[in-house]
Amino acid sequence: MTTRPRPDGLPERLAGEGTLVIGVLNVTPDSFSDGGEHFDTADAVAHGRLLSQQGAAIVDVGGESTRPGAPRVDEDEELRRVIPVIEALAAEGVVISVDTMRSSVAVASVAAGALIVNDVSAGRADIDMGGEAARLRTRLGTPPVFIAMHWRGHSDVMNELAVYEDAARDSATELEDRLTALREAGVEDRFLVADPGLGFSKTGEQNWDVLADWEGIASHGLPILIGASRKRFVSSLGVDRDAATAAISAYSAEHGAWAVRVHDVPSSLAAVRVGDRLRGNARR
């Protein structure tokens, strides 16, 4: 199946052929990698600005940790964390994605300037998410881009759910079921992005199995987001986790990913340039 190269609904400057780098901005006290580092609003805005200056095409703002075992935060607290940051960065022209599983947070975030809704549950955690995403309009006059990830359950139970006959095949099938549900709720394909959910309800070996099966990752015919940055299966290699993440970014770009979501922007920006060049040479 031919993979759609990129979604509609984003500024024209993001319409090139290369793989984009999305910078992670966790406005949380407990994220697995950088929890607490940018919990203050001013610190978060400053870091989001830095990510953009370093070359991140998009900054992904999240107010709820999805690390294994993390407790959920309530709606009001999630809104308190992310909305001022989104408003400030969007006002400076930064393209913002909101990382949320709540439709109410998605609605408020788009009103604050976000152009992308990144739902790790693909609408499973909030049955209203798909319909709300279809009805929303961003400042560009279109629905937000909707990133749908393979997900089986919340952080407190996800490790118990890593049981598959074939992790790559099963996760692709389950994600396709969620994409079908989102389409039925009114989300159009041209605004959808597929994420295989590395690190979510998968063992270390299962993550590698999923990543190695690019045919399965691309089977939805949608733009692809890869989020491997600093995750446990990457750290287990015994090398610098940002360097290992960059290697996965190069691999993803060479295979035609729309974007990679990372904590360290400069290393992955260099990596996707290499991957894009290799992919370009392969087409000649």
Q: What are the CA-CA distances from residue 180 to residues 137, 148, 192, 233 (Å)?
A: 21, 11, 11, 29
Quick check: helix, strand or coil at residue 258? Answer: coil
Specify the DSSP class assigned to residue 224: B
Out of 124, 230, 241, 261, the active site residue is 261
202 in active site? no
| Strand ranges, E, within the chain | 20-26, 58-62, 96-99, 116-119, 145-149, 192-195, 225-226, 259-262
Question: Which residue type, as a one-letter code, is found at position 234?
Answer: V
Q: Are 144 and 105 in contact (CB under 8 A)?
A: no
231 in active site? yes
Out of 102, 124, 231, 241, the active site residue is 231
Residue with tokens 């340039």: 273
Residue 116's nearest CA partner among 61, 171, 76 is 61
N- to C-terminal Cα separation, the chain: 20
Q: Are 164 and 118 in contact (CB under 8 A)?
A: no
Residue 98's nearest CA partner among 143, 74, 52, 62 is 62
Helix spans in 239-264 (H): 241-254
Active site positions, annotated: 231, 261
